[in-house]
Amino acid sequence: MTEHVRKIAIVGGGTAGWLAAAIIASKHKKAIIAGQIQISLVEASDIPTVGVGEGTWPTMKNTLKDIGIKESDFFAHCNATFKQGGKFVNWVKQQDDFYYHPFTVPLGYGRIDLAPYVDRIEDFAIEANYQHHLCEANLAPRSISEGEYSGQCNYAYHFDAGAFADLLKHHCRNTLGVKHIIGTVKQVKLNENQDISSIILEDQQELAADLFIDCTGFSSLLLGQALGVDFISKEEYLFNDTALALHVPYPSEDAPIPSHTIATGQNAGWIWDIGLVTRRGVGHVYASQFLSDDEALHNLKTYLGPQAKNIEPRKISFKCGHRAKFWHRNCVAIGMSAGFVEPLEATAIMLIEISSRFVAQNLPPQRKNMTTIAKRFNQQMDYKWSRIIDFLKLHYTLTKRPEPYWQAHTTSETIPESLKEDLSVWAYRGPIHADFESAIELFPAASYQYVIYGMGFKPDFTQQHYLYDQGQQALVIKQRNQQLTQQMLQSLPDHRTFINTWLNTTSAGQHLPQGI
């Protein structure tokens, strides 16, 4: 058990494979150049990118910067736009309600919760943050004069997943020294210790490695099939298992581009609407036990209106849950091979970033170190998945919609015990920073505040009398927010105008080959 870990094989391309390759290779670039580490990626050319997750979390800014990709190149080649948060329409009632989950934390965050001092709890995001108004006005989160990956507003991205994988592939092969192998896995060979020793491709090529990274998607070819790690369903909490997805053209080239994801509640699921530069990505996520495919298609056509003519959406079926282990023996699963939940709050790509960064930072020098590293990784990922499921479930469990699908989400047996405990505490003081003190949290208290207050959940603040001692401080913060809101509404550019002007005045993408 003293073998050195020098050869890493990533099996599977797409966003998961190439993003994992980029994060790990950029961290160990000097060792790759020196020949001390070799990273290979095996990609089957006959497997298309699923492409459901076209949205990211703000962590992607640092990821792109760290792996060495210019923000303007990313925009130029990935049809990318800014994402300042999510707009949740008709999640509380059947119609005429919405709230925002913006990515910028509330003013005064960490010092004061403004919720006890707002006129209506549903307006928390409006009185505590300026991004609600920026999104409603379709504005960019920063000005052109501000540098790449900067700006006062926190933001993420929307992008074309296939184009992003191609950009990463070019960067990995040409800049980071990743070896690219085209081939379909025919067999996974195990050694006497039940580690994976090699994979054999259909052309009989055999690839041996010390560490294998499974990015084979839902099939989980290595971790699930070859190593037999069980899949743990979470369908008792999150019911959605199907999506209909399609691309929708804009009515004109200068149509406004929302700088946020729009999630519109339906009778048994919800519809996502993501604005890229040249098209929209639209899809209906639903639970097959509550809604038929034909009914979902009807919902989608009703939502799109005249643009629904001759649409042929792609059907994607998925299981909600994750593997019992994420790193077993000498194999770690990243992406959908590790698990998947509905594409709400852009958790899928964020988990790829986090998992890949852990591997990059904790790459064991020898096989004997791997057991401890794997144990820690599994502990962290178990915690992250439980938090993700709690946070997604929170979007449903506070609803007042009467349909069976929505009401089923509010019954006690479908709510995780950990979320029940949180809600019992938040019933009298709301989420605070101290509730999320783990170094491995995915969502801050601010995210929970935006969701529960936006859904109309109002704690009984009268039980916490000290909160009202901060009334003057709260007034100053709210006035400051009003000033910032007006300044930004007047100074920030239109979203589409910003992107067009920015890319036309830079050399974005000119050093990359056509078609990337």
Read off the pLDDT of residues 389-435 as tens digits, 9 standing for 90 and up: 999 999 999 999 999 999 999 999 999 999 999 999 999 999 988 88
| Residue 437 pLDDT greater than 90, yes or no | no
- Residue 486 counted as domain residue: no
Spatial contact of 320 and 340, defined as CB atoms under 8 Å apart: yes
Confidence of residue 516 (pLDDT cuts 50, 70, 90): low
Same domain, 227 and 333: yes
Same domain, 224 and 355: yes
Confidence of residue 54 (pLDDT cuts 50, 70, 90): confident
Instruction: Provide the number of structural domains found in the chain.
Output: 2
- Residue 347 counted as domain residue: yes
Same domain, 275 and 312: yes
- Least confident interval from 115-119, 210-214, 258-262, 483-487: 115-119
Choose one of 381, 402, 418: the last residue of a domain: 381
Q: What is the pLDDT of residue 436?
A: 84
CATH number of the domain that residue 335 is part of: 3.50.50.60
- Residue 272 counted as domain residue: yes
Spatial contact of 373 and 362, defined as CB atoms under 8 Å apart: yes
- Least confident interval from 84-93, 454-463, 503-512: 503-512
Sheet with 269-275, side-by-side order of all strands: 98-102, 85-89, 261-266, 269-275, 279-286, 242-249, 314-317
- Residue 170 counted as domain residue: yes
Q: What is the mean pLDDT of residues 169-193?
A: 96
Q: What is the mean pLDDT of residues 178-188?
A: 96
- Residue 414 counted as domain residue: no
| Euclidean distance between CA atoms 261 and 272, whole angstroms | 7
Work out whether strand 321-323 and strand 81-83 pair parallel, antiparallel, or are unpaired. unpaired
Work out whether strand 269-275 and strand 279-286 pair parallel, antiparallel, or are unpaired. antiparallel
Residue 375 neighbours by CB under 8 Å, 6+ apart: none
Same domain, 214 and 260: no
Domain hosting residue 230, numbered range: 7-54+160-236+320-381
Confidence of residue 35 (pLDDT cuts 50, 70, 90): very high
Please state, in angstroms and as integers, the Cα–Cα distance from residue 288 to each residue in 6, 242, 318, 342, 403, following that order. 45, 7, 11, 13, 15
pTM for the model = 0.95
Choose one of 301, 317, 333: the last residue of a domain: 317
Same domain, 313 and 248: yes
Same domain, 307 and 197: no
- Residue 426 counted as domain residue: no
Same domain, 181 and 309: no
Same domain, 222 and 254: no
| Euclidean distance between CA atoms 412 and 461, whole angstroms | 24
Choose one of 366, 381, 396: the last residue of a domain: 381
Local structure of 234: helix, strand or coil: coil
Same domain, 268 and 372: no
Same domain, 311 and 339: no
- Residue 506 counted as domain residue: no
Confidence of residue 50 (pLDDT cuts 50, 70, 90): low
Same domain, 325 and 313: no
| Residue 68 pLDDT greater than 70, yes or no | yes
How long, in residues, is the chain? 516
- Residue 430 counted as domain residue: no
Q: What is the pLDDT of residue 91?
A: 98
Same domain, 333 and 216: yes
Q: Is 150 exposed, middle or buried (0-12, 13-18, 19+ CB in 10 A)?
A: exposed
| Residue 1 pLDDT greater than 50, yes or no | no
